[in-house]
A and B are shown apart, each in its own frame.
Chain A
């Protein structure tokens, strides 16, 4: 009697998981999943932008953006990132045509532009710190270094990822798994360029406005 009751209850319990075979879709939803990851990354940057928006004018009698920022340097930096975006696009076009050597060359150029971006940013940071504009100086500088530094860290990890993928492709060729990974990195890389639009507009350009 009790056993029959338990069985009846077990049968009426709804299943909150997919019982069918999901095997056939392996890899098919990766792009959507990666897009959702990028959206969550977007929220991280939104919080950092909000922090900068709140604290960005609290100079604590220290230097302001107008005193510190060199817009020519920022313009060069922006160009580096924009160039790296289009060269990554060319790499993806080469991948579509199956031209592995050409794709590797474009990826290398992308990596060099990314390195140039990072180099200029590190030079800028070193310059600021040498002048005494450290993250400890004011709330403005704390939020500035956090926001711009987080973007720079993303670029750094993007470059590491790029290097790993170039090695993978040279060892295993343009197999399906590598194509998928390259497409993910493509989204990541273009996404970082989108974030940079916000950074140069809100932080640098609006920072030097009176």
Chain B
């Protein structure tokens, strides 16, 4: 993709009005809001883990995963300007499809390999 900047699209200029003028570029307010939210959502998980605030690894893991999920949404909305209307809804369709595939890949791999690991463990009682 980084190859395209080298060549100048001859059609780009005459049709300038057709370009990306409709694309939402965000506002100063949006970027600053997103940035401040991200700082808070990043700082809290680091603080929780570095100072072992909750004192329970499982609970901490669940909490920081929740923070990550919220921060990803914040980035999507404020930095990537995701909404249901951009590109006639096709951005959102692509995103939803990708989330479904990512969930299947992650959950499926972890699930299958976890069971494989426990089933392939040498049985201590028979040894």
Contacts and interface: CB of A to CB of B under 8 A. Distances in A.
Contacts of B49: 71, 205, 208-209
Interface string B29-50: 0011011001100100110011
B113 A177 contact: no
Contact of B105 (A50, A71, A96, A202): A50
Nearest to A210: B57
A82 B87 contact: no
Interface in A45-68: 46-47, 49-51, 53-54
A184 B1 contact: yes
Contact of B80 (A160, A187, A200): A187
B60 A209 contact: yes
Given A27-B19, A53-B110, A46 B65 contact: no
Interface in A67-100: 71-72, 74-75, 78-79, 82, 85-86, 89-90, 92-93, 95-96
A53 B25 contact: no
Contacts of B95: 39
Interface residues on B, range: 35 or more
Contacts of B125: none
For A161, A176, A209, which residue has the most chain B Cβ atoms within 10 angstroms? A176
Nearest to A184: B1
Interface residues on A, range: 35 or more
B61 A209 contact: yes
B68 to A, nearest CB: 4
B59 to A, nearest CB: 10
A191 B18 contact: no
Interface of A: 23-32, 34-37, 39, 42-43, 46-47, 49-51, 53-54, 71-72, 74-75, 78-79, 82, 85-86, 89-90, 92-93, 95-96, 157, 160-161, 164-165, 168, 172, 175-177, 179-181, 183-184, 187-188, 190-191, 193-194, 197-198, 200-202, 205-206, 208-210
Given A89-B31, A164-B2, A180-B20, 17 more contacts: A27-B19, A28-B18, A32-B91, A46-B101, A72-B50, A86-B31, A93-B31, A177-B8, A177-B13, A191-B80, A194-B80, A197-B72, A198-B68, A201-B64, A205-B45, A206-B64, A209-B57
